[in-house]
Structure 1
Amino acid sequence: MKKTLIPLMGIITLFTSCKETHQTENILKKRIEYYLRECEDNGVSGSILIAQEGEVLYSGGLGLSDRNKKTQTNEETIFTIGSITKQFTASAILKLQEEGKLSVKDSLAGFFDNVPADKKNITIHQLLTHTSGIIGNLTNGGDFVLIEKEDFLSKVFNSTLDFAPGSSYYYSNVGYTLLTIIIEQITQQDYEVYLNDVFFKKVGMENTGYILPNWDKNNIAYAYKCGEDRGAHIEKWKINSNKISYHQKGNGGILSTPSDMYKWYTTLKEHKILSEESTKFLVEPHVLINKNQFYGYGWVVLKSDRNTKKIAHSGFNGVNYSNFIRLPEEKNTVIIYMTSLVRYDTRRIGKEIEKLIFDENYEPIVPKMNSTKYSAGEEPNKNMTVINKFASILLKIETEQTIESFMKAHIPDTGKHKRFKNYFRAMQKEFTDYKLVHTLEYEDDTYDILLESKRGVIEELTPCFDLKFNEQNQITAFGW
């Protein structure tokens, strides 16, 4: 009898433990689903995947990806991932290093002719870690402004370094495009073609790329900001004859889905396309960003709120936002979040989910995206009266009203007056000869102010959101 008692008790203990784990997982799933439903009810749209220990806890979409067609966002909706693109560039460099075709210790002089003296010794490692001193972005270097490779290189090599190579850190999109050009020179292939052949096809990432995938056009998310349709990347590339600008190539702009990016994560974790050594290089804390964050190769390495290792990167182009969070010490938790409807709180959803997962008492912040539109001059409440006064001063309609008296009357925190004045002057300079079109009022007492140029172009006061009020109709925040 004693011999059967111990295994029986072990079975009972194991059964009880499994049952409790299952119950905990069900509670967590319900909390996640409830939070995301709240987000959707409040106007959020996007796609999210959450996984732990190789099991997907949640995968799905919120809101509409195309308002005109009333297309519901789902787990296969295609978004722009922005600077998350950089990890593909870094991985391609490490793949070429594995093949003996380059080394991260190699310098620019080994790849380009006539490199200026101040840039000759910049290494691939420094480009990967944003420590090269190369400028962040070229002047007039918009994502969809076409520039030929030779012109791009000429402008970069003739630019002034921000600091001596290796002496500091400054985030550089230009640096990652230089890496992209190096990849193209070595492989004699277009950057996207190389990624597709070496990475994406091999792991079944059929919805990842710039223009090569056979996109389901009905499943591509359109970007919206302050109620205005900002279009989709695919359409903008078509205008440029399907050419990807070197202002963006390799540093941002790739399209993907959370499910495809999870395949990528699994591929890295299981060392299917990169060796274990190379994979470690991606997430090594190579260079200090600040006291809590380090930059690896296309990834940021930091500590979570629970003092565990966190590996992450986000992508943001002012309209679209994506976030990729990995927590290898906490059940290999992965959170991948993408949205093309951005306001100040929508960018934090991935982090809010992280807090929700690891703190059963945490009440996550729900972004408020539903809004009411008021035409210029409408004053249904005291907040709108203040906003119309602000717009009149900004657009120089009410010359007798000074910004100093406005701040004294409506911004109680005098410590913010200097920053507000700088914000105001910058906006006044940017929006000369504009007129007020309408204002969007959100449920959290924040407002977006939309202006129209003489050419009929509608712009929001940047950055969006613009003004936030308290219950006393006083301005408590402005800008991001």
Structure 2
Amino acid sequence: MKLKILTSIFLIQFGLLTLSVKAQEAPATDSIDTFLKSKMQQRHIPALQIAVVHDGKIIKDTTFGTANLEYNIKANDQTIFSVNSITKAFTGIAVMQLAEENKLKITDPLSLYLDSLPDSWKNITLQQVLTHTSGLPDLMDAEEQIMGHNDEREAMQTVKLLPVEFKPGQKFSYNQTGYVLIGQIITKLSGMHFTRFIEERQFKVAGMNLTRFGDSYDVIPNYAGAYTLTRQMGAGFVKNSTPGHAYMQIPVFFRTAAGIQSTATDLANWIIALKSGKLLKKQSSIDLLWTPAILANGKIGGFNRLTNGYAIGWPTVTRDEHPAVGPVGGGRSALFVYLKDDLSIVVLTNLMQGNPDQFIDEIAGYYIPEMHKANGFGLPKDLKKLRAELLKQGFDKAIPVAARLKKNDPSFNPGENELNGWGYELLAQKNIKAALSVFQLNVSLFPKSANVYDSLAEVQEATDNRTEALINYRQALKIDPQNKHAAGRIQALIKQ
């Protein structure tokens, strides 16, 4: 059964040589466009904007698709998209701007700037709030709605009655409460409302002429809207095959956390302004802005294996090669700034399940070829070692090659999920024989797992090997009688 694991499962440490974008020939624009159109079709994305920055300039700026499905309005370079939690990256810069003016230190406790805080909140630092390591109770309720009926006073009164979730610095836990508090601090120290401070000090300075704050309630010219593939049914959600409307109300007091509407071009200009010293004067400020928080256990924490750390409003893609900072928003928008490569990529969509963060690295591969997944980019260390040997000796020898690697190096231990994910990546690359060999290897290594038999059967069925597919679906069902996918495919194959 295909795992519900994002393709980012692979994007962890590996040993590739960093290549400069300057050393690569400019990719054929139509190759990137073809790739993006394919992703839009696969993911049912109505509209997508991309901007690519290199050498302080925008080298690609393209828009595809439909901004408004009801009236079939085509998206263009002036179409405005909601960036959702990418807004937090703007808030991080705003805090660092105040730090450069010596109006605050990110290591200061909240109580230095805010009164009437619960005792358990007073020693939490600004840095812990900004990196989601504070332990504060979350302002969002169990149904992902803002507490207090969108009223700041009521919301804060409600959340202040809740206990802290953990000791500050112990773990990463995404939290909106802290960003509301940060908004109050920015307003107090800057002498203007935080939204105006961000507009004056970032939008205007970076030349972001189309960027603004807003939500679904506001009438926004050229707005791409918000669409979703899920709808609530009772206590759960069902996924549809076609997009429907998504409605987001983001009250003003919450707009340090979300609420910016922008274009890929404007965001690209914002990145250029930041990297060129127009937003922050000191390189040390940018370095701190992009340094992930270290937890009490000495590790970093983040959303997943791709965005695996969190800095001052900026998620980080912390890895040995081609590390990045990667703000993401609402499952629909993302931008990656590659820290060792002169490359930044912005991708905005109007589908909440578009998840462009999952394929931005592949876009980067058109500028830095070693970053293509087909070239093994992002594979865990053991899979990279295995892949190198299989390229020499043939994928059909996967089982004996893996056994030999294990014999020579007892630490060689590819994981079941890693192998399964790699198999599906090979399948997506239409390298079917290689995929089949990887799934067969997974079965040999993890013979007690129902999932590996299910996956092997799936690729066998795809290659019209129904007899073997039935055998392996039945084995999957024998190991796990609750495997609905295997049971369904058995019935379907029997009827054929």
| Structure 1 and Structure 2 fold alike (TM over 0.5) | yes
Q: Distance in 2 between matches of 1:146 and 1:191?
A: 21
Matched, 1:187 2:190: yes
Q: Residues 239-250 of structure 1: matches in 2 within 5 Å?
A: 244-246=251-253, 248-250=254-256
Matched with 1:283 is: 290
Give 3-state SS (helix, strand or coil) of 1:326's partner.
Answer: strand
Q: Distance in 2 between matches of 1:347 and 1:473?
A: 37
> Residue 48 of structure 1 aligns to which amino acid in structure 2?
I
Matched with 1:221 is: 225
> Residue 25 of structure 1 aligns to which amino acid in structure 2?
E
Give 3-state SS (helix, strand or coil) of 2:333's partner.
Answer: strand
> Residue 274 of structure 1 aligns to which amino acid in structure 2?
L
Corresponding residue to 1:311 among 325, 331, 334: 325
Q: Residues 129-148 of structure 1: matches in 2 within 5 Å?
A: 129-139=131-141, 142=145, 146-148=149-151
1:143/1:58 Cα in 2 relative to 1: closer, same or farther (>3 Å)?
A: farther
Q: Distance in 2 between matches of 1:415 and 1:137?
A: 43
Given that 1:203 and 1:264 are in contact with CA atoms closer than 8 Å, whether structure 2 keeps it comes out as yes
Matched with 1:174 is: 177
Corresponding residue to 1:274 among 274, 280, 285: 280
Give 3-state SS (helix, strand or coil) of 1:56's partner.
Answer: strand
1:23-44 C-alpha deviation (Å, 9 max, x unpaired): 9634443321221243455553
1:414/1:146 Cα in 2 relative to 1: closer, same or farther (>3 Å)?
A: farther
Deviation, 1:285, is 2.7
Matched, 1:301 2:316: yes
Structure with higher RCO (Cα < 8 A, 6+ apart):
2
Matched with 2:416 is: none
Matched with 1:359 is: 369
Unaligned 5+ runs, structure 1:
1-20, 238-243, 369-408, 422-466, 476-480
Deviation, 1:65, is 0.8
Matched, 1:256 2:259: no
Deviation, 1:78, is 1.0
1:89/1:411 Cα in 2 relative to 1: closer, same or farther (>3 Å)?
A: farther
Q: Distance in 2 between matches of 1:362 and 1:126?
A: 35
Unaligned 5+ runs, structure 2:
1-20, 230-239, 295-299, 376-424, 429-472
Q: Distance in 2 between matches of 1:468 and 1:74?
A: 44
Deviation, 1:62, is 1.7
Q: Distance in 1 between matches of 2:119 and 2:343?
A: 46
Matched with 2:32 is: 32
Q: Distance in 2 between matches of 1:120 and 1:177?
A: 15
Give 3-state SS (helix, strand or coil) of 2:88's partner.
Answer: helix
1:296/1:40 Cα in 2 relative to 1: closer, same or farther (>3 Å)?
A: closer
Please give the root-mean-square deviation of Cα atoms over the aligned residues, in Å: 3.8
1:186/1:355 Cα in 2 relative to 1: closer, same or farther (>3 Å)?
A: same
Given that 1:51 and 1:333 are in contact with CA atoms closer than 8 Å, whether structure 2 keeps it comes out as yes
Deviation, 1:144, is 9.9
Given that 1:299 and 1:313 are in contact with CA atoms closer than 8 Å, whether structure 2 keeps it comes out as yes
Given that 1:136 and 1:170 are in contact with CA atoms closer than 8 Å, whether structure 2 keeps it comes out as no
Give 3-state SS (helix, strand or coil) of 1:118's partner.
Answer: helix
Given that 2:332 and 2:354 are in contact with CA atoms closer than 8 Å, whether structure 1 keeps it comes out as no
Given that 1:137 and 1:174 are in contact with CA atoms closer than 8 Å, whether structure 2 keeps it comes out as yes
1:82/1:416 Cα in 2 relative to 1: closer, same or farther (>3 Å)?
A: farther
Give 3-state SS (helix, strand or coil) of 1:51's partner.
Answer: strand
Q: Residues 141-160 of structure 1: matches in 2 within 5 Å?
A: 142=145, 146-160=149-163
> Residue 221 of structure 1 aligns to which amino acid in structure 2?
G
Deviation, 1:124, is 0.7
Bigger drift between 145-154 and 159-168 goes to 145-154
Normalised TM-score (structure 2): 0.62
> Residue 270 of structure 2 aligns to which amino acid in structure 1?
W
Give 3-state SS (helix, strand or coil) of 2:359's partner.
Answer: helix
Q: Distance in 2 between matches of 1:210 and 1:53?
A: 29
How many residue pairs match? The answer is 354
1:343/1:151 Cα in 2 relative to 1: closer, same or farther (>3 Å)?
A: closer
Give 3-state SS (helix, strand or coil) of 2:212's partner.
Answer: coil
Q: Residues 30-429 of structure 1: matches in 2 within 5 Å?
A: 30-40=30-40, 43-44=44-45, 45-139=47-141, 142=145, 146-211=149-214, 217-225=221-229, 226=240, 227-230=242-245, 236=249, 244-246=251-253, 248-276=254-282, 277-287=284-294, 288-289=300-301, 293-303=308-318, 307-316=321-330, 321-330=332-341, 332-343=342-353, 348-359=358-369, 362=373, 412=476
Q: Which structure carries more strand by proportion?
A: 1
What is the percent sequence identity of the aligned residues?
A: 22
1:41/1:116 Cα in 2 relative to 1: closer, same or farther (>3 Å)?
A: closer
Deviation, 1:123, is 0.9
Deviation, 1:314, is 0.9
Q: Distance in 2 between matches of 1:342 and 1:211?
A: 17
Normalised TM-score (structure 1): 0.64
1:107/1:302 Cα in 2 relative to 1: closer, same or farther (>3 Å)?
A: same
1:46-66 C-alpha deviation (Å, 9 max, x unpaired): 111123223433211121010
Q: Distance in 1 between matches of 2:367 and 2:488?
A: 31
> Residue 299 of structure 1 aligns to which amino acid in structure 2?
W
Give 3-state SS (helix, strand or coil) of 2:150's partner.
Answer: coil
